[in-house]
Amino acid sequence: MSTAPATLPTTPAGLSELERVVDTFIAPSKTFNDILRSAAWWMPLVLLLVFGTASTYVVQRQVGFDQVYMNQLHASPAQEDRLNNLEPAQKASAISLGIKFTQIVAYVFPVMIVIFVALYSLILWAAFNFGLGAQTDYWQVFAVSMYAALPYLILNILIVVALYFGGNAEAFNSRNPVGTNPAYYMPDAPGWLKGLLTSFDFVKLWAEVLQVIGMAIISKKTIAQSAIVVGIFWLIGVIIGTIAGAFAG
């Protein structure tokens, strides 16, 4: 009779955090399947905060927040007219306040993105669980959203490269800093059209595709079902962006 000990089945090792990040760009299904094992999301959080803060620092050095604010002002004729109609002292005070506000928002923006992702994940979690009958965990949805946001790292890199290699401080638009969407190449277009075209941004669409793939995997629904739900909220964002662009222009 054999006395060899019985061998227990081994559980495949999960991906490391670095592997998850890399696979998000080259094999996203691997990353999102691994979220079913572990809903850890700290690595994309750290990367988004670090890259976002770094690009903001470069904007401060290469452009300056005073110039950023003035560029925003010139892009909104209605707001610029209101400012020009103020008394000189009031105008100077308003400009000083606007510059300080621009600086604060710039450095807080990466944190604001995380808050937005948290709220967006809550909406998606409710939509998939109550709308499609999925049984997803909120933190799985949040992890998917964090990893799906990783293409924004490329946007931060492009901002840094553009500003260090031939960037024009007077032409810098903090709301649309690099040419990843059609609106960037149409500075004289009506505000509503720029708001609409900004939604068709390569980086944003890449993130949306990753969101669709990730939600399909963790909810165990089809890509088509996931695309419909995620697409509805993307369309709402397009409408809001178009309306906001009309008022800003």
Contact between 214 and 147 (Cβ < 8 Å): yes
Amino acid 56: pLDDT: 92
pLDDT tens figures, 11-27: 567 899 999 999 999 99
Q: 203 — phi, psi (to 5°)?
A: -65, -45
Q: What percent of the chain has pLDDT over 90?
A: 68
Amino acid 2: pLDDT: 47
The structure tokens listed for 121 are 């994940």
Amino acid 171: pLDDT: 85
Please provide the average confidence, as pLDDT, over all residues in the chain: 90
- Of the given ranges (103-107, 126-130, 205-209), which has the lowest mean pLDDT? 103-107
Amino acid 12: pLDDT: 60
pLDDT tens figures, 61-80: 999 999 999 988 887 777 88
Look up residue 232 and give its amino acid. Answer: I
Give the number of residues written for the chain.
249
Model confidence at 1: pLDDT above 50: no
For the residues 29-57, what does the mean pLDDT come to? 94
Distance, CA of 32 to CA of 35 (rounded, Å): 5
pLDDT tens figures, 145-174: 999 999 999 999 999 999 988 778 888 988
pLDDT confidence of 196, banded at 50, 70, 90?
very high
- Kindly give the residue spans of alpha helices, DSSP state H, lying in the chain: 17-26, 28-35, 42-62, 65-74, 77-84, 88-126, 138-148, 152-164, 191-198, 202-219, 223-248
Amino acid 106: pLDDT: 87
CA-closest candidate to residue 73, choices 65, 58, 116: 65
Contact between 134 and 220 (Cβ < 8 Å): yes
Domain boundaries, the chain: 17-248
DSSP string of 107-137, one letter each residue: HHHHHHHHHHHHHHHHHHHHIIIIIS-----
For the residues 99-106, what does the mean pLDDT come to? 90
Model confidence at 202: pLDDT above 60: yes
